[in-house]
Amino acid sequence: MVTKDELLDLALLSKLDISDSDVDKLLVDMEEIIKFADKINAASTSDVEFDNINDLQNVYREDKVVDSFSQDDILKNSKTVENGFFRVDNHNHIE
């Protein structure tokens, strides 16, 4: 059971605003989805190691300095840039 307070707390952690009109619908959805996820409770996992479950190995490259992106390129997609930095105003802002 997910309560309204829990949902709002999750939203805060997820950096999402949930409007009052969406809360009821999301509570129903989350309830259903968590009930669905709870199905794993019945399964046994006694003989499985947790570490590196996929048995993957890193494929490393040689550790040497290579060219990367220019500062201009990195800043290209930002809405507001100032003196080579990303700029965000910390107050009311209307574009």
Smaller CB separation from other proteins, 43 or 65: 43
Angstrom distance (rounded) from CA 14 to CA 29: 17
CB–CB of 1/35 below 8 Å? no
Smallest gap from Cβ 71 to other proteins, in A, equals 11
Which residues of the chain form contacts with other proteins (CB under 8 A)?
A: 2, 7, 10-11, 13-18, 26, 29-30, 32-43, 45, 48-50, 53-56, 58-61, 69, 73-74, 76-79, 86, 88, 90-95
2, 32 Cβ separation under 8 angstroms: no
